[in-house]
Every structure is written in C-alpha cells, then in structure tokens.
Amino acid sequence: GAGVSQSPSNKVTEKGKDVELRCDPISGHTALYWYRQRLGQGLEFLIYFQGNSAPDKSGLPSDRFSAERTGESVSTLTIQRTQQEDSAVYLCASSRQGAPGNTIYFGEGSWLTVV
C-alpha cells in the first residue's frame, strides 16, 4: 500500500511475555519514528531512525524497550517482559527526511494490551 503499515493491529499478551511490533514505512522515506499513546493521553516520542541508525532514542522508557531498522525500511519495536503499564497504542510514522517541515505520515497503530 501507499501508507505506513503496522502489524499486528491488535495484540493481547500476558504480563512478562515479550512482544514485537512491526512497521513498514512509506517507500523512500528515510526517517522513521515510534510513538506511544496511552489511553486518553497525548503522543509520547520513543525513538527516531534516520536510515538504519537511531540518532535519538531518548524516549525509550526503559531497557525493556528496543528497536531496530534494517534495509532503511522495516522497523521492529520489541518490548521485553511486558508490564501492564506498557498497554497503549504504539504508532509508527515516517517522513521523507528527518528534518523539520517534512510531513510525518502515521500508521494506524498497534494496540497492545498486557493482561
């Protein structure tokens, strides 16, 4: 498709399990972002990729969170030993370049529920 694609769209997992969330950005977009949105809250920045490197990972909330990107394309956000407070929508976005003024296009999000 032409937009940012995320999978799974919904995930229910047990506390303590690991989860992987996948993002396929728009083709040709070098910048990729992960955000988290808890219920009723604004968006929380997690990590930014330029190409395959992550110049800004300051938003990752703990060392249980990690992300990688390969081939300047697909990115995977991994949450280890999930906790209930990890329940949120995880939004991926991409833009043509990681510079201000470039429109960021968002995926539909992956809804994660930790029970």
Partner 1 sequence: AQSVTQLDSHVSVSEGTPVLLRCNYSSSYSPSLFWYVQHPNKGLQLLLKYTSAATLVKGINGFEAEFKKSETSFHLTKPSAHMSDAAEYFCVVSRNTGGFKTIFGAGTRLFVKA
- Which positions touch partner 1 (CB under 8 A)? 4, 31, 33, 35, 41-45, 48, 50, 55-56, 58-59, 91, 93, 98-101, 103-109
Give least dist CB 13 to partner 1, A: 20
Beta carbons of 48 and 55 less than 8 angstroms apart: yes
Query: What's the CA gap between 70 and 50, in Å, rounded?
Result: 11
Bridge partners (DSSP) of residue 76 are 22, 68
Reduce the DSSP state of residue 85 to 3 states and report it. Answer: helix
Please, which residues bridge with residue 111 across strands? 10, 89
**Residue 27 Cβ, how far from partner 1 at the closest point, in Å?**
18
CB nearer partner 1, residue 10 or residue 17:
10
Nearer to partner 1, 1 or 14 (CB): 1
